[in-house]
Structure formats: structure tokens, C-alpha cells
Structure 1
Amino acid sequence: MIIREFHPDDDIEALTELLHRAYAPLAAAGLHYTATHQTSEVTRYRLNSGHPLVAERDGNIIGTVTCYAADPNSKTPWYREPGVMIFGQFAVDPAFQHQGIGFALHEAVIQHAKKCGAHYLLLDTAAPATNLISMYQSWGYSVIATHDYSTTNYESVIMRRSLTEPPNAVHEQPIPAW
């Protein structure tokens, strides 16, 4: 397996289908993540809005993640802060899950964020997705806030990990409510 940057000539339709497959259990649980139903145009837009990476095995893309810079116009106040990067559109094809591919993609995101000078890496996920929250906590993330996006049908948790301290070395305090 290799992890590489997404190339413009990669198959966007196949990547969108991978996202739909990977997010299908969340959709079946009633969670309306964007990746459960997004079009190929939305996939391309999200990839082009950040630093997209893919995991490839035998010439096939089997995972993806996109790392985004802080956005001063974000509806999520924590995503506007200087020194943060955010990752999303994170998925591993179900046929390849539980093999360390997601962890390897995440490590590549950490390296990219550090190279960009970020101090914190952030993400959001559905509050009911307790299995995902537990996984991210095992990777050194802490829940710091909640946010209600108008495009989903659930409350999201915002999670943060320090890139300057070892994972779980310091219990991170929540950022004050905005």
C-alpha cells in the first residue's frame, strides 16, 4: 500500500462510490453525513478545497482523507483559529478496514499538518457515532465542543489533538463556548 496525493486524473466516480460504501453503516444508522450521499462534483470540490491524500493498493484507491487549513469564514468557530488544521472526508473501503489503513492515512495528515506549522489537528463527527469518537480518542483526540450544522441531522462533536505534545500527554481543556 502507498499513500499519495490525490491526482486530478484519479477516478472521481470511483472515489465517490468508495465514500458512499464506507459511510453506508452510518447512513443505515440514520446519520446524514455529507459523504453518505454526495455527488462526484461535491467530492471534487471537497478534494480541491484542501490537501487530499489517498491510500492505494494494486493500483486501486482504497482510502482517502483531506486536510484543510483553518478557514476564517467557517461556521465552526474552532475551525477559524490560527494554528489549526482540520481533516475530513476520511474513509477506507469496507473491504480493507481494520488493517491499519485509516491509521496510516491519519499519520500522513499529522505529518502534513506539522509541515504546515499547525499546532492542533481538529475534526468533527456525529455525536451518536460513539465508535468513531472512541477511535479518535484512542488516537489522542479530546472532545472540546459540540456544533449543530444545518446540513446534517445530528449534533456534531468537535475533537482536537495537539501536534506539539505527545498524544494523551496533557488532558486538553475545552475551548470556551462562543
Structure 2
Amino acid sequence: MTAVSKKSNYKCREGVLADAEAIHILMQRAFADYAKKKNKENDGEKVINSALREELDAVKADLNNNIVLVLTNGDEIIASLRLEEISEKRYLLKRFAVSPVYQNQGLGTMLFQQAVDKLKELNAHYLQLYSSLENEKLICFYQGLGFNCLETDHSKGYERGLWVKTIK
């Protein structure tokens, strides 16, 4: 799984246990940047994000038990996502992150397409995720990837949606 840009050689691969620390650091950077943007938009209202509280052991558990894909630029992990089978033929996309310096270059979409290809190999039918409905950029991004918002809730202290995409 290699994707080549005119500027760089990006490679998508399955994560391994040795990637745990780099993935953990990526998550902290990507979600801290998101929280800062949200704070600026909300005049200092604190955004609670469970990704920022995630421990290294949780990353290791996902590497051992779920599908973890990483996008690299050389030796650097610049994006990652995790796929957890939550019922037969249905997967949850979680902890989808792109390093702030690599955002808005199509790399998240590139990594996501590799995830869809992997799910097709597994004969998955649906992919779902939860995401904030307070960030127009995220809403547009997920709609552009073919997700539809099926329901909303405020259980995490902010408005979020359950987004679903048909795979097959």
C-alpha cells in the first residue's frame, strides 16, 4: 500500500506494537490542536476530548486487538486510524488523526481509502464513527467520504453525531 505524491513518498501500512508510542504522540498532537481550535471558536469554553486522556496501554491494546493503519512519510508516522469490529460486518472508525502539519493535504482521505479497501477485503458492510457536530470542517470531511449522520446526542458534553457509511 503505497501512495506517491509529487513532493513525498507516503506509505500506508498496518501498525505494529513498536508504533505505539509514535501513535500515542500523534494522537496527543492532533487532538490538542483540535481542542485549541475549538477553544478559540468557543471563547475559551473547555473542550473535553477522550483522545487526549488516552493512555499508551490503550494504543497497545488496539494494536493487539484491532486494525490499526498508519500513514508514514519516511520513518515518521503522520496519520493513523483504528478499526474495531463491533458486530458482524460492522466496524467502528476511531482515533482518526492526521498530524497538524500534514492536515489539509488529502492525506487523511488517502489513509481513509486504504481503510475502506481493507474493510472490503474483510467483506464489511458498514463503517460507523462518532464525531463532533460543532465543527463544520469535520462535518464536510465526513460527508465527503460518504458518511451520513444518523443520530445525535450530547452524552459527552458536546453535540456529536453517529455517522455511518455503507462499504459494500
TM over 0.5: yes
2:17 paired residue number: 8
**Residue 145 of structure 1: which of 132, 148, 151 is its match?**
151
1:124 offset after TM fit, Å?
Answer: 0.8
Structure 2 distance, partners of 1:26, 1:94, is: 9
Structure 2 distance, partners of 1:32, 1:2, is: 32
Gapped regions of structure 2 (runs ≥ 5): 1-9, 39-45
RMSD of Structure 2 on Structure 1 (CA): 1.7
**Residue 92 of structure 1: which of 98, 107, 122 is its match?**
98
Deviations 1:129-151 (A, max 9, x none): 221111100111110112444xx
1:50 paired residue number: 66
Between Structure 1 and Structure 2, how many residues are aligned?
A: 151
Higher helix share: 2
**Residue 21 of structure 1: which of 16, 29, 32 is its match?**
29
Identity %: 26
1:60 paired residue number: 76
1:176 paired residue number: none
Code of the aligned partner of 1:21: R
Structure 2 distance, partners of 1:61, 1:46, is: 16
Contact 1:86 1:123 in 2 (8 A): yes
Contact 1:146 1:157 in 2 (8 A): yes
Contact 1:55 1:61 in 2 (8 A): yes
Contact 2:78 2:102 in 1 (8 A): yes
Structure 1 distance, partners of 2:120, 2:65, is: 19
Higher strand share: 2
What's the TM-score once normalised by structure 1's chain length? 0.77
Taking a change above 3 Å as real, the CA distance of residues 97 and 157 of structure 1, as seen in their structure-2 partners, is same
Gapped regions of structure 1 (runs ≥ 5): 72-81, 165-178
2:56 paired residue number: 40
